[in-house]
Amino acid sequence: MKQLNGSITALITPFRDGSVDEQAFRDLVEWQIESGTHGLVPVGTTGESATLSDEEHERVIALCVEIARGRVPVIGGAGSNETTYAISMAQRLEALGVDGVLAVTGYYNRPSQAGIIAHYTALHNATAKPIVIYNIPARTAVDISIETLATLAALPRIVGLKDATGDLGRVPLQTRQCGGDFIQLSGEDMTAVGFNAMGGLGCISVASNVAPALCAQMQNASLAGDYAEARRLQDRLAPLHEALFSDASPGPTKYALSLMGKCVDDVRLPMVGPSDASKAKVRAALEELDLLG
Q: What is the DSSP string of 100-169?
A: EEEEE--TTT---HHHHHHHHHHHHHH-SS-EEEEE-HHHHS-PPPHHHHHHHHTSTTEEEEEE-S--TT
Residue 250: cis peptide before it, omega within 30 degrees of 0: yes
Catalytic residue among 107, 120, 129, 134: 134
10 close to 45: Cβ distance less than 8 angstroms: yes
**Rounded Cα gap, residues 289 and 292, in angstroms:** 8
Amino acid identity at 289 = L
**Rounded Cα gap, residues 209 and 138, in angstroms:** 22
Strand-pair category, 6-10 with 15-16: unpaired
Residue 21 Cα distances to 14, 46, 65, 166, 262, angstroms: 5, 16, 16, 33, 11
176 close to 142: Cβ distance less than 8 angstroms: no
**Rounded Cα gap, residues 110 and 48, in angstroms:** 21
Query: Is 85 one of the catalytic residues?
Result: no
Catalytic residue among 129, 162, 262, 281: 162
**What are the two backbone dihedrals, phi and then psi, of residue 96, each rounded to the nearest 5 degrees?**
-80, -10
**What are the two backbone dihedrals, phi and then psi, of residue 135, each rounded to the nearest 5 degrees?**
-105, 110
Query: Is 162 one of the catalytic residues?
Result: yes
> Which residues have a catalytic role annotated?
134, 162
